[in-house]
Every structure is written in structure tokens, then in C-alpha cells.
């Protein structure tokens, strides 16, 4: 006999289900393609489709609803549309565009839909999240108070970044914008921050260099590379920043810390303008549609520091924008500056003069600043920006004639050392304790007899000397405690290092 036993009321249950079952014809809306051009399909017959809805063509391709007109839908293809024809049937999937999220993405190079581009196996995750998600409410956010260490002295000392901040990196073409952001990613190899690099409209060779740099100098197992290259369909380029933000939010919402670099939003805005013009939206300033500000505002507002009740995770955004001839008042840079919590401005003149990273100290600002900076680092970096700005003005005037005033000569000498100290090669991130040591030595005059040409050697031998300090001093300085006695011992250690290595210009 069979071991299968049926409940006593099985017959009544079956009859109840049959009685409640809906039997009869069911209307399923079917749309048709009425026009095809340049990666855009105009579709009619789907009056209930929502903005951003995922649409499937009879030939198997997919698109998403980019704009809704009274009599048709303008859909943007997510893949090549060679097989789609006019008159073809289109079905509304009833869902929005989603991307995979999870730890399975770490270490992978993928397109904005989560498909592998690195030749590895297909990515399988447990969850698929919408690319468009609401930003955290104000009540769900917390103060930005923890530093995000980039390892770049000019950033960590003068324009400190906090976890949960949105800091724009802006400058002309080929001034080191991507290099600065990549150095910040590489420096997270010794932290708990998950990094997401999003390439929008970039050349394939440029993206390959970024990936190779992270693999060589950083920890690629903590990074996700989302690539919507220049050769990808406009639809993929358009959703790339939103897809990358969703993938980063997965870690933020679990209470972890994440960093997203979007390279760059100027090209993303150009893609948005292209799609808007193709879908015949009314053009505005510089032919951009009227919603271009909202486009980036709703994207960057998703970066935040969450409250303890929401897990305490953070998502820091470093969007990149490009200017023409240093014009910060252009439309897109102006929009992004007003959205973000500060900007790092890179100067082509400084870059050409060999000052790299070519950060313009006068135009750059971090609106979070010292609130998220280590207290010990803040105490020794307080006057650096002012002294450097005064030096730049004095240097300009001294070109017209010599200065005999000893005080001015001392200011110029100090400014030359500040400038040399802020020059930092790529892939040579400084620990926070080493930054404190360098700025302490600068503020206390220890570096005055050191010629700027030997600063690179000083940076190389400094970590070993700092590590010889008492462990309680190192621990206290990392936590922000910086008593006068500890400061004296730190300055003395750097002074002894200068003498041991014959770095002083007074040494015969």
C-alpha cells in the first residue's frame, strides 16, 4: 500500500479552490513597434505601462520605457536591435529594470545589467534590485563624522572626505581626475570599504588601465567594475550609474561601508541629452532637457550615511565631471557642484607644471571638512591651506623683483616646502599616521632645512621611523588624541630621521 495519506477534508478544499478559480478569457495588453531609429523604439498599445517599465520584444530583445507620450511609449534598447522590426509585438513584463546585487559581484567586471565582461562564469545572485531606488529619508540618515582615508595628502589634510559624503572631482581633460579617484579606491585595500567603479562612455583602453591599476596595487576582491563603455548601446550607458549605485547600496544597507566612483557624469549627461533629443523632448539650455538636474540629483542623493537604526552603513560618492578650458560655470559642472557636498578642482596649469595631483587649493572645498577629519590631523593641517594660499600670492609678486624682507623670504621658503609636500606620485598612498608626522614636522619647522628635492626620499623612509614610536603614542594619534608631549616626540622622530639620512640642506 502507498504511504500517501490525504486529509479528511481534501474533497471540500478542492471544490473550494475550483469554485474560486477565475475561468474565462483574460485581456493581456500587447503593444506594437511603430517606429525604429537610433536605438529608440516608439511603441503604442501599452497604455498602462509605467515609466522605467521593462519591455520585451517578440524577437527576444529588451528595452525600458524612457518617456511616456499620450499616444506612445519611447523605449530605449538595452542591447543591439538588429532583429527588432516595425510592427513587431511588444509585451510589458510588469516589472521595472533590475540588476543583480550581492557578494558574487565582488572582483568582477560586468556590464550595467550584471553580465560578465571578464570572461568569467555567469553571475548568480539571490536578489535582483531595481536600478531606480528612492534616496534614504532625512530621518534615516546620520551625521557624516567618520573619515574616508584616500591616502592622498592634499585630500586628507586640506579637503577631508567623510563616509557618506558626495564630493565632485572636476577638471579639464587629462588633468588626473580618474587617477585621483583610483588612488582613493586603491587605498581602501587596508580598510573595510567596498568599492564600485562605474565607467560611463569611457574608452575601453582607459577602463582597462583602471582595472589593471586596481589589480596591481589594490585589492580587486573588494571592488566591482561596472562598464558602460563608449561602444555600448546608449541605454546601457544611461543606466550604468544607477545600476552601480544599486549594487553599492546593497552593502550600505547591510551596515557596511561603500565607495562609488562615477566616471564621468558629463558623458552621462550627454547620453541623456542624446536620448532626449531622439525622443523629441523639448530642449533647454545647451540642448539639455529640463530634467537633467533632477537626473543627477536623484542619483547622488542616494549616497548617504545611515542612522544606527538602519544599520549605520555608509555610501560615499565620488562623481567626476569634465570642464572645458577650466570653465566651472558651465551648465553640467554648475549643476553637480550645487548637488554635491564640495568639489576637488584640478587645474591644467598645475598639471603642466608638474604639481600632481593638480588640485587647485583655492577653488576646491569640502563642505564636511574637519567634522569628519581625525582630530590630530586637523590640528596640524589647520594653517597649511592659508600658508599655501599666501605663498602663491607672494610667489606671483616676486616674479617682478626680489624681496629683501626676511619674513617674506621665510614665507616663500615655507610655501615651497608645502608645495613639495603636496606633490605625491600615483599608487603611493600615505597612512594617516605618516600624514600627521609630515604635517607636524612642517608646522614645527623641522622641514625648513630640508630641500624640496629630497621630499620623495623622506616619504620612503618615514614609515619605518614612525613605527618605532611607542605603541601607545601611535594608538592615541590614530584615535585623535594629540597632546603637546606626543607632538614633540613625533617632531623629534622626524628631525632625527632627517639628520640620519643627511636630508638637510645644511649638511655638507
Nearest to 43 by CA among 9, 66, 20: 66
DSSP state of 309: G
Q: Which residues contact 340 (CB under 8 A, 6 or more apart)?
A: 166, 167, 168, 300, 317, 319
Sign, CA dihedral 496-501-503-508, equals: positive
C-alpha cell at 97: 529594470
Residue 2: CB atoms within 10 Å: 4
| Cβ–Cβ < 8 Å for 328, 334 | yes
| Separation of alpha carbons 163 and 333, rounded Å | 23
Strands 314-322 and 257-263: parallel
Question: For this structure, is 298 an active site residue?
Answer: no
* Residue from 298, 367, 431, 489 carrying the catalytic annotation: 367
- Which residue in the block uniquely carries the three cell numbers 632625527? 496
φ and ψ at residue 253, rounded to 5 degrees: -70, -15
The number of CA neighbours under 13 Å toward the Cβ of 181 is: 33
Q: Which residues contact 463 (CB under 8 A, 6 or more apart)?
A: 431, 434
| Separation of alpha carbons 54 and 106, rounded Å | 26
**What is the DSSP secondary-structure string of 122-177?**
PP--SEEEESS-PPPPGGGB----SB---S-HHHHHHS--BTT-B-EEEESTTSSH
What HEC string does 59-109 produce? CCCEEEEEEECCCCEEEEECCCCCCCCCCCEEEEEEEECEEEECHHHCCCE
| Catalytic residue ranges | 367
Amino acid at each position: 500500500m502507498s504511504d500517501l495519506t490525504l486529509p479528511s477534508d481534501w474533497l471540500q478544499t478542492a471544490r473550494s479552490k475550483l469554485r474560486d478559480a477565475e475561468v474565462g478569457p483574460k485581456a493581456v495588453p500587447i503593444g506594437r513597434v511603430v517606429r525604429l531609429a537610433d536605438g529608440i523604439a516608439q511603441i503604442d498599445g501599452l497604455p498602462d505601462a509605467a515609466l522605467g517599465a521593462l519591455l520585451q520584444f517578440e524577437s527576444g530583445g529588451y528595452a525600458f520605457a524612457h518617456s511616456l507620450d499620450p499616444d506612445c511609449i519611447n523605449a530605449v534598447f538595452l542591447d543591439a536591435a538588429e532583429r527588432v522590426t516595425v510592427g513587431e509585438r511588444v509585451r510589458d513584463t510588469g516589472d521595472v529594470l533590475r540588476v543583480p546585487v550581492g557578494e558574487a559581484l565582488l572582483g568582477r567586471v560586468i556590464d550595467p545589467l550584471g553580465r560578465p565582461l571578464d570572461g568569467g562564469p555567469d553571475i548568480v545572485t539571490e536578489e535582483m534590485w531595481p536600478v531606480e531606488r528612492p534616496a534614504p529619508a532625512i530621518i534615516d540618515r546620520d551625521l557624516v563624522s567618520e573619515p574616508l582615508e584616500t591616502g592622498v595628502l592634499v585630500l586628507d589634510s586640506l579637503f577631508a572626505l567623510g563616509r557618506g559624503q558626495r564630493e565632485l572631482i572636476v577638471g579639464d581633460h587629462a588633468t588626473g581626475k580618474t587617477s585621483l579617484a583610483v588612488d582613493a579606491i586603491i587605498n581602501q585595500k587596508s580598510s573595510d570599504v567596498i568599492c564600485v567603479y562605474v565607467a560611463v562612455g569611457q574608452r575601453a583602453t582607459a577602463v582597462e588601465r583602471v582595472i589593471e591599476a586596481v589589480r596591481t596595487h589594490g585589492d580587486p576582491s573588494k571592488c566591482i567594475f561596472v562598464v558602460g563603455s563608449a561602444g555600448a548601446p546608449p541605454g546601457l550607458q544611461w543606466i550604468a550609474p544607477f545600476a552601480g549605485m544599486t549594487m553599492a547600496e546593497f552593502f550600505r544597507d547591510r551596515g557596511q561601508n561603500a565607495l562609488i566612483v562615477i566616471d564621468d557624469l558629463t558623458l552621462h549627461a550627454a547620453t541623456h541629452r542624446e536620448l532626449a533629443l531622439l525622443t523629441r523632448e523639448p530642449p533647454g539650455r545647451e540642448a539639455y532637457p529640463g530634467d537633467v538636474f533632477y537626473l543627477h540629483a536623484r542619483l547622488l542623493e542616494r549616497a548617504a550615511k545611515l542612522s544606527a537604526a538602519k544599520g549605520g552603513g555608509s555610501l560615499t560618492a565620488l562623481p567626476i565631471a569634465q570642464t572645458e578650458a577650466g570653465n566651472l560655470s558651465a551648465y553640467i559642472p554648475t549643476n553637480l557642484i550645487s548637488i554635491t557636498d564640495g568639489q576637488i578642482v584640478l587645474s591644467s596649469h598645475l598639471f603642466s607644471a608638474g604639481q600632481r595631483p593638480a588640485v587647485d587649493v583655492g577653488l576646491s572645498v569640502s563642505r564636511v571638512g574637519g567634522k569628519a577629519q581625525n582630530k590630530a590631523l586637523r590640528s596640524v593641517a589647520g594653517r597649511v591651506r592659508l600658508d599655501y594660499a599666501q605663498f602663491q600670492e607672494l610667489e606671483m609678486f616676486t616674479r617682478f623683483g626680489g624681496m629683501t624682507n626676511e619674513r617674506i623670504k621665510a614665507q616663500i621658503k615655507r610655501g615651497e616646502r608645502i608645495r613639495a609636500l603636496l606633490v605625491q606620485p600615483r599608487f603611493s598612498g600615505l597612512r594617516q599616521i605618516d600624514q600627521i608626522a609630515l604635517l607636524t614636522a612642517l608646522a614645527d619647522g623641522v622641514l625648513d632645512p630640508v630641500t624640496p628635492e629630497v621630499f620623495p626620499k623622506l616619504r620612503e623612509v618615514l614609515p619605518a621611523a614612525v613605527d618605532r614610536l611607542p605603541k601607545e603614542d601611535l594608538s592615541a594619534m590614530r584615535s585623535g588624541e594629540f597632546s603637546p608631549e606626543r607632538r614633540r616626540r613625533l617632531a623629534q622622530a622626524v628631525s632625527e630621521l632627517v639628520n640620519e639620512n643627511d636630508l638637510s640642506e645644511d649638511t655638507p
